[in-house]
Amino acid sequence: MVTESLIPATERRQPSAQAADTEAMSFEQETNPWLAQEARFDFAAKKLNLDEGIWKILRQPARELIVHIPVGMDDGRIEVFTGYRVQHSTARGPSKGGVRYSPDVSLDEVRALASWMTWKCAVVNIPFGGAKGGIICDPHTMSQGELERMTRRYTAEMMEFLGPEKDVPAPDMGTNEQTMAWMMDTYSMHMRQTVTSVVTGKPVNIGGSSGRREATGRGISVVCDQAIQQLGIAVKDCRVILQGFGNVGSNAAKLLYEKGYRILGIADLDGGLYNANGIDIHALLAHRAQAGTIVGFSGAEAANPAELITRVCEILIPAATENVITSRNAAALHCRILCEGANGPTTIVADEILAANGVFVLPDILANAGGVTASYFEWVQDRMGYFWTEAEVNQRLDRIMTDSFRDVIAYAQSHSVNNRIAAYMLAVDRVAYTAKQRGMYA
């Protein structure tokens, strides 16, 4: 339940699509991820009566790095790429967060993602703070050689600030296991020894963890299990639509399908699919492996991706990128549960609309925390030189995600707030408590 609004009264949006062009808050402001993070943090801090000094410390990143990376391209040109690394907090341990390669990377986006990582790690109670990195580039137009040279130079520029006890990168949008292998090797060459624990999300044969690739999707499936149990919905009656069919969306779909959920729709960059009787996810994955796309799959009809997420379902899972659910489409959603597989898929204005419509939100800092939890497992295994089986990884992940769901729900009920604000309050409370214990070095 929501007792107060995150949006000032003068900028508050009524839950109707017609209000879209009349509010003081511009759409550009609404979709700025850093402003959204700030608003949610401030609201949680206010509800907690957070000490003013701690509030100021946690409101801003501890460090922001900007580097300009010269790269020799295959055609002989030298191109200069801009890269970022933002370390939001190290109060609870080394900072942790992915590195993304995308033309849309911006400092505000990286700031927001770094802070979300701080709160995400605190929600699942693992000993990391938050960080994020990115390079403005289009990895789809670059060769492997160009990507490797860019990655290694970026790592070298960040060398002083990375390390198993400082800041531990991981893959994100546009990066993968190979990117992490390059980063690990570059760091190791400078250290004159192999340091596998400097990054996570590596190939298993060089210190990666079993179960890491599926972990975010697995965490989503666990919190969905908990949510339908909380709301009294049977698995057999649970219809699911996913937006995004990359690593997160495809693994979530596969695991939910295997548990008996009915996957009605998949919306992806190159098209959408819908089948009222349910999509055979195993068959769809086989089709994509062969065709390189979900388009043309014979087991479902083609559907408009933007329209697909507004169809009736029990669970909607945005699993791609930020700002998918906004003031422009939130009122049109017909789901009972919104499970945020992506980071920041819902704007603060959309939050108000969803709350007014009674949608049960599983916020990103809880729902997609399976990935960073498995990254923590990988970091631990690298540091002790002993590796768990996939079954052991999954068992530990399931327990942490289940306990974290229950912690957030208990916080929501005891403080009379919605799930998102409860998750923020829980996280901010944990980080603030540690920061206060440590004191301030001056």
Reported as a single tens digit per residue, the pLDDT across 315-364 is 999 999 889 999 999 999 999 999 999 999 999 999 999 999 999 999 99
Residue 3 tokens read as: 């007792």
Q: Which two tokens stand for residue 251?
A: 């693994």
Task: Give residue 2's pLDDT.
Answer: 39
Reported confidence tier of residue 440, pLDDT bands at 50, 70, 90: confident
Average pLDDT rounded to a whole number, residues 96-115: 96
- The strand pair at 129-136 and 95-102 is best described as parallel
1-5, 166-170, 185-189: range with lowest mean pLDDT:
1-5
pTM to 2 decimal places: 0.90
* Per-domain residue ranges of the chain: 61-206
Round to whole Å and give the CA distance between 145 and 83.
18
Confidence of residue 400 (pLDDT cuts 50, 70, 90): very high
Instruction: Report, as an integer, the average pLDDT of 31-44.
Output: 91
Alpha helices in 48-143 (DSSP H): 52-59, 107-123
- Judged by average pLDDT, the poorest of 2-6, 43-47, 140-144, 411-415 is 2-6
Whether 215 contacts 179, CB under 8 Å:
no
| 62-82 pLDDT, tens digit each | 999 999 999 999 999 999 999
Judged against a pLDDT cut of 70, whether residue 20 lies above it is answered with: no
Output the pLDDT for position 150. Answer: 98
Give the angle 61-64-68 at the CA atoms, nearest 5°. 160
pLDDT at 139: 97
Q: Say how far apart CA 22 and CA 7 lie, in whole Å.
A: 15
Which H or E element spans position 327?
A: none
- What letters, b where the CB count within 10 A reaches 16 and e where it falls short, cover 159-174? eeebebeebbbbbbbb
Predicted local distance difference test score (pLDDT) of residue 6? 56
**Residue 93 burial (CB count, 10 A):** 17
CA-wise closest residue to 365 among 425, 415, 424: 424
How much is the pLDDT for 12? 36
Distance CA 211, CA 346 (A): 28
CB 308 within 8 A of CB 243: yes
Phi, psi of 369 (to 5 degrees): -75, -5
Active-site residue among 47, 96, 132, 254?
A: 132
CATH class of the domain at 61-206? alpha beta
Q: Is a pLDDT exceeding 50 seen at residue 16? A: no
pLDDT at 162 over 70: yes
Strands ordered across the beta sheet of 262-268? 301-303, 271-274, 262-268, 239-243, 313-318, 335-339, 360-362
DSSP H/E element including 266 = strand 262-268
Q: Give the pLDDT score at 432.
A: 97
- In this prediction, residue 322 carries a pLDDT of 86
* φ/ψ (deg, to 5) at 134: -170, 155
Say whether 336 sits in a helix, a strand or coil. strand
Question: What pLDDT band is residue 19 in, cutting at 50, 70 and 90?
Answer: very low
Average pLDDT value for the chain: 93
Is 132 in the active site? Answer: yes
The model's confidence at residue 280, banded by pLDDT at 50, 70 and 90, is very high
Tell me the Ramachandran region of residue 263: left when phi exceeds 0, alpha when psi lies from -120 to 50, beta otherwise.
beta
**What is the spatial distance between Cα 225 and Cα 234, in angstroms, rounded to a whole number?**
9
Report how far Cα 307 is from the mean position of its chain's Cα atoms: 23
Say which amino acid occupies 104.
Answer: D
- Residues 216, 188 contacting (CB under 8 angstroms): no
Cα–Cα distance between 119 and 425 in angstroms, integer? 9
pLDDT band at 15 (very low <50, low <70, confident <90, very high): very low
Report whether pLDDT(441) > 90.
no
Q: For the chain, state the CA radius of gyration.
A: 21
Instruction: Give the residue from 225, 220, 184, 213 showing the smallest Cα distance to 374.
Output: 213
Identify the DSSP state of 233. -
Residue 22 has pLDDT above 80, yes or no: no
E strands, 103-223, are: 129-136, 167-171
Q: What confidence score (pLDDT) does residue 8 get?
A: 41
% of the chain at pLDDT higher than 70: 94
Per-residue pLDDT at 268 exceeds 50: yes
Distance CA 147, CA 174 (A): 11
Instruction: Average the pLDDT over each of 19-23, 268-272, 297-301 and give the range with the smallest value.
Output: 19-23
- pLDDT at 31 (0 to 100): 87
